[in-house]
Structure 1
Amino acid sequence: MAVTMADIQNLRKRTGAGMMDCKSALTEAEGDIEKAIEVIRKKGQAFAAKRGDREASEGCVLAGTNNDFAAIVAVRCETDFVAINSEFVGMTTSILDVALANKPADLDALNNLEIGGRKIADVVVDRMGITGEKMEIGAYETIIAPTVIAYVHPGNKLATIVGFNKANVDAQVGKDVAMQIAAMNPVALKAEHVSEEIRQRELNLAKEKALEAGKPENLIEKIAEGALTKFYKEFTLLQQEFIKNPKQNIEQYLQSVDKELTVTEFKRITLNAE
C-alpha cells in the first residue's frame, strides 16, 4: 500500500516524530496508522533499553502554580540540541500541566498519570524513539501553602517554587524571593533547618582551616562556631542578604512588607553546573 503525504502528516501530528521516521513506520506498517504508531513506540522502548546507562545531563526545567499548589518538573535528555527543541519543551509543559491539575504526591504518581490516554512514563519513552536520546523525568518537587510563587530562569535550566504563610502575597514580593532562591541557592530556610550532615561538614572544614592557619587549639571550637554562624548568614534563605538591597536580609525585607510575613518552604531544581 502506497504511503501518502496526508498519512505521514497525520502520523507526525499524532506522534511528533520526524517526517522520515513517519514514512518509515507507515511503510513497515503497510499504511496502517495505528500499527505505525506502535512501530514508533517500540522504537522508543528499544532506545530506552539500549541507552539506559547513558548520562542525561541536559534537559528542560519548568515550574508553575495552581491556587495553593506549586510544582517543578525537570525532564532530562542527553543534548542541548534536543533540550531546546520546541516539541521537547512542549512535552515538558504538558507534563507540568498534568502535575498542576492532578497534584500527584511524588514522581511515581506523576509517571502513572496520563497524557492523551498514555501514561506519562510511556510518553517519555515514545519521545526517546523519536529523538534517539535517553530521556527521563529527573526531578519533581511540590509545595502547598497559602500563597505559592513559581519562577523559571530564562533558558529553562533552573526553576524555583516558594510558599508563604499568608494568602494574597504581592506578586513582586513573591518573585523577589523566588529569584533570590534561584540566584543564591540557599541550603535551608533558617539555621535550625540545616541538616546535621551539613552542619558537621562546615564545622569540620572550619576547624581544619583554623588548624592549618596555626590558630591556638583552645580557640578552634570558638572559631569553628563563628564560621558556622557566617555560613548560616550566607546559605539560609531568611538570613541571606537581599540581592536587591544588601542592607536587608530576606527576613527583614518580608517584615518590611508585613510584620508577620515569612516563607514556609521552598524548592529549587537546576541542570546547571554549580
Structure 2
Amino acid sequence: MAITAAQVKELREKTGAGMMDCKKALTECEGDIAKAVDWLREKGIAKSAKKEGRIAAEGLTRVAVSGNTAVLFEVNSETDFVSKNEQFLGLMNTLQEAILANKPASTEEALNIQTAEGTINDLIINATATIGEKISFRRVAVVEKADDEIFGSYMHMGGSISAVVVVKGTEDATVAKNLAMQVASMAPKYVSQAEVPSEEVEHERELQLQMMKADPNMASKPEKVLVGILKGKVDKHFKDQCLLDQEYFLEPKTKVSQFLKDNKAEVVTFVRFQTGEGIEKREENFAEEVAAQMAK
C-alpha cells in the first residue's frame, strides 16, 4: 500500500525517528501507526533518535594489535559511568574483533561492517536504546607495519587514552611500549619538526614576529640577533609538539631522540586517541533549566 506524507509525519512526531526510518516502518507494518511504533522500538530506532541532540563526550578509546595491523577506535557515551558497565565493554570487544578483521578505511566504512548481530551502526543504535544514553561511534584508525618493524601500544586508565607507535631498528618490545606511553602522556602531534606543515610554521613565525615588534626590549637589538631570537621562539613552540624533541618521560633530562639513538631505534609513525578530545561539552545551567521547565 502507498504510504502518505501525513502518516510519516505522524510517526515521526510520535517516535522522533528519521523520515526514512518511519517510511520503512510503515511499509513493513502496512501503514499501521501503532505497529510501526512498536517496530521502531524493537529496532531501537525510536529511543535512539530522541537522544541524537545530546552530547556524548565520555566513553572509551581502544587500541588492538593483530599481526602487522593495529587499530584504534573511539566510542562515546554521555556519562563516564556508562562506559564502565558490562554491556558497553562488551560492545567495545565486539567492535574490536570486527574492526581488526575488516580494516575499515574510514568511520563510514566501519559503521557498515557486518557482524553476527547486524552492522556496527545497528549495534550502536541498539546500545543507545538498551543502555539509555546516546552512544556514538566517533572515529577509527588502521595502522599497518612492515615485517621488520614492531608495534608499541598503550591504553591509559582502561581506554581514556590509547596510543600505538610503529618502531623500526629494534626488536625490544619494552622500547616500543615506552614510546607508546610517551605518546599517550605527552600528546605530540608530529614525529619531528620536518613533519610540521610549512603553512603552520609560517603562521607561528609571523605570530612571533608581531609579538617581537610589540616588545620594546627588541627595538635596540641588531637584525642578526633578532633573526636568531625569532628562530628560537618558533623552535620552542614546536618542541613539545614533536615527539623527538620532547623530554623522555622516564628520564626528564634526556630527549626522546637520544633515547631512540641509545636503543638504535626509529619511530616511523604514531596515532593517539583521547576520549572526547575536540568535543565541546554542553555546560548545563541548572537555574535556567528549572526556569525553562516552569515556563512550560
Does residue 1:131 correspond to 2:131, yes or no? yes
CA offsets 1:57-93 (integer angstroms, 9 cap, x no match): 1011111111111111110111112111121022112
Alignment of 1:1-274 (within 5 A): 41-42=42-43, 44-145=44-145, 146-166=149-169, 169-216=171-218, 218=223, 221-258=227-264, 261-271=265-275
- Number of residue pairs matched? 234
Does the aligned pair in 1 maintain the 2:61–2:75 contact within 8 Å? Answer: yes
Give the distance between the partners of 2:48 and 2:72, measured in 1 at CA.
24
Give the distance between the partners of 1:199 and 1:234, measured in 2 at CA.
14
Give the distance between the partners of 1:172 and 1:38, measured in 2 at CA.
52
Does the aligned pair in 2 maintain the 1:47–1:134 contact within 8 Å? Answer: no
Q: Percent identity?
A: 27
Shift of residue 46 of structure 1? 1.6
CA offsets 1:94-113 (integer angstroms, 9 cap, x no match): 21122122222222221111
Shift of residue 212 of structure 1? 4.1
The TM-score, its normalising length taken from structure 2, stands at 0.72
Does the aligned pair in 1 maintain the 2:117–2:123 contact within 8 Å? Answer: no
Does the aligned pair in 2 maintain the 1:41–1:129 contact within 8 Å? Answer: no
Give the distance between the partners of 1:273 and 1:117, measured in 2 at CA.
29
Shift of residue 117 of structure 1? 3.9
What are the ranges of 5 or more consecutive residues in structure 2 without an aligned counterpart?
A: 1-37, 279-296
Does the aligned pair in 1 maintain the 2:47–2:129 contact within 8 Å? Answer: yes
SS in 2 for 1:163: strand
The residue type paired with residue 147 of structure 1 is: I
CA offsets 1:176-226 (integer angstroms, 9 cap, x no match): 100000111111011011123532343244234434432435565543321
Shift of residue 50 of structure 1? 1.9
Does the aligned pair in 2 maintain the 1:124–1:135 contact within 8 Å? Answer: yes
Does the aligned pair in 2 maintain the 1:142–1:267 contact within 8 Å? Answer: no
Q: For the pair shown, which has the larger CA radius of gyration, 1 or 2? A: 2
Does the aligned pair in 2 maintain the 1:78–1:133 contact within 8 Å? Answer: yes
The residue type paired with residue 79 of structure 2 is: T
Q: Is the alpha carbon distance of 1:215 and 1:97 closer, same or farther for their aligned partners in structure 2, counting shifts above 3 Å? A: farther
The TM-score, its normalising length taken from structure 1, stands at 0.77
Does the aligned pair in 1 maintain the 2:40–2:46 contact within 8 Å? Answer: no
